[in-house]
Structure 1
Amino acid sequence: MRQEAKHSNPAQITLEGIRAAADLIHGSVLQTPCLPAPRLSRLTGADVFVKYENMQVTGAFKERGALTKLSSLTDDERRRGVIAVSAGNHAQGVAYHAGRLGIPATIVMPALTPFVKISATRDYGAEVVLIGNTLAEAKAEADRLADEKNLVWVHPYDDVHVIHGQGTIALEMLEAQPDLDMLVVPIGGGGLISGMAVAAKAIKPDIEVIGVETVLYPGMWGALKDKTVRCEGATIAEGIAVQDIGLLTQEVVRQSVDDIILAKESTIEQAINAYLTLLRTIAEGAGAAGLAGMLTDPDRFAGKRVGLVLCGGNIDPRLLSKIVVRELARDGKLVSMRIDTPDRPGILGEIATVIGDMQGNVVDVAHHRLFLNVPAKGATLDVSFEAFDRPHGAEIVAALRNKGFTVRHLEIGERMD
């Protein structure tokens, strides 16, 4: 029998409420696996276990809180219908389960929401309204529509029922892996980490709960540290790009969360790529934020048994392919260079031969003759090639220079000398 302790928290966020939510959503929301991830363990130096919430029907954890809230509505509230504002995953969770329960749903989304999330929300039967460039602007329109049509709000995070639903993830993780030392949880408005922290601390008081935000949207970090912060900018983790964190969730985080890490955009890209290439699974920016936090501060997690929540996998395929290419470039496995050459027959073949003889693979070539900074009898070639690793790419570039070619390195990061 596990020891359970009582922790005070605002608005009656309780282990009992979370357990009741678990019973309520059982059979309607997938109990996703929480599995060891040896390749991520080697990458981070910790003993990593991943909770695959990207396997939910809507591709994200938000179904849990949405269904818990929808199930709490009166018959009159169900007839009136519900409204939510979301950049995507909460929208899909509300739309999907509202459709299942026969509840009319209106979802207001920022106009810049990835199309894959807009399309999925419409496919679940909700009325989608696109307006504004931020969640704050979308929220203003949702407030107007709620008043005009007398709709019931389903808040994405600052709601007791929603928080209880999200907390069911911690119950499942600790049931599957009771010896976890730490949980690492992405933070947007704070609903997910609030529910998980309350559940985890009640079941296992000595467990550490660490949150992760993007550096562009450090709202909860600022609240926890009592610092004034700015939340703005284009982020790959739009699912946690929240300007106004919850009032209720702030108080829960202050009482139950041990610390918050801020992850850079480039590190979140690295985490998305790691999930894809090492675990063969898809993570959106917000879903990969927990792993990005571990990569940001690996010493904190070294040797610990760490539970990661892969909370969502709804990423635009074009963006995902772009990230993969960028990570190949950062790793030195895709090299882009500009070569100044004389404009004579056979020159491209000579360059390709040097690369091929050294087992590089040319993937793209652009031939320029009209650049004004190129001599009239000269040309410029932009060449991209694949290499085994960064030293191999450097050897190929050095071989081209030894052949007399002027090579300027165009890869992301520092120039290759």
Structure 2
Amino acid sequence: MNNRNILLGITGGVAAFKAAALASTLSQAGANVKVIMSAGAREFITPLTFQALTRERVYTDTFLEEDVEKIAHIDVADWADMVIVAPATANFIGKYAHGIADDMLTTTLLATTAPVYIAPAMNVNMYEHSAVLDNIATLDSRGVTFIEPGDGYLACGWVGKGRMAEPEDIFRFLSKEQKPALPYLKGKKVLITAGPTRETIDPVRFLSNRSSGKTGFALAQAAQDQGADVTLVSGPVQLDTPPGVKRIDVVSAKEMWEVVVPLFSEVDLAIKTAAVADYTPKETFRHKVKKSDEDLYIKMERTRDILAELGARKNKQILVGFAAETKNLNQYAEAKIKEKNLDMIVANNVNDTGVGFASDDNQITILRRDHELVKSDKKGKEELAYFLLEEIQPLFEGEDARVRESNR
């Protein structure tokens, strides 16, 4: 949503207060937000609220022309990359369906060529009325996208469908609409690993790392949104399972091996973002190790290298690895892609401020076999997930696919 020009229309319903949260969320995501309010909307919330949240003029009157060199409703209609009306009343939907332009919002909507999204909000009986349904169908046939209202307790006291979708759900819907289409993922079986592992010392203590799992979970959500059949194998993290994704939880490197290696033969694409422990205690103590005046030494042994094992077993699969480094980023990445028979490696410097472990942002370097390095700008991990999936696409087609076929 960064730098997108978003026109937010607000009509007269009690859900207008939710539009303030939506305007704030869009602005915080980097969007440029302008607001048009109907007369009814101003009965519930003031224009000053939206002016403060967006730092932009709020439009309320078709005939209020503050800039004599511009026609306001034409200017803002041309400016918008997308229009979202939330909440949208039955009255507004009816007027828009019939081409009535009697206020700033409806006039602007008839003038814009930008995609239009509508989030209805009304009483359940109104929403189910044949006239309203006909108007929705008319707008749908013209390419207007509706964001379904939710079920629940309505302001009028009824319980049913008609409450405006929550601002966070609208934001996610709009964000998903702006993502690039990746048709190569449709129907593909995708295996993604995420998070850290924990290597037990005793019933109280374990060895682990700072991986949050955010990148792997963002990739799983993005791939699933594009029609892939996604299995997510995760170490211990505090993240919700992306909708539609099959999740398998593991704890140790040994458990991750036992799950991931057998699954690999069934998939088309494996992306291994998990930060798996390289070493594990050779002995696990049955009881808590008590502190003493002596130093404590724990003998460690190597864990089995899951990525190397997948590389050795690779046949038709695309295999993508990750390298979290603190120095010599490109050198280590180039060595790893060859040693472990990877199709692509994604490297990032976890010492860089504001990116890497636990951060919501990351900055990565991508290396494919026999290709130049590709570097990303600093991006949110959801945006980065799509960037990475776009970079994987050539591996399924063209020259990369022919090279892979000849190496079988």
Same fold judged by TM-score > 0.5?
no
User: 1 or 2 for the larger relative contact order (CA 8 Å, sep ≥6)?
Assistant: 1
Q: TM-score, normalised by structure 2?
A: 0.26
Q: Which of these two proteins has the greater Rg computed from alpha carbons?
A: 2
Q: TM-score, normalised by structure 1?
A: 0.25
The structure whose residues are more often helix, as a share, is 1
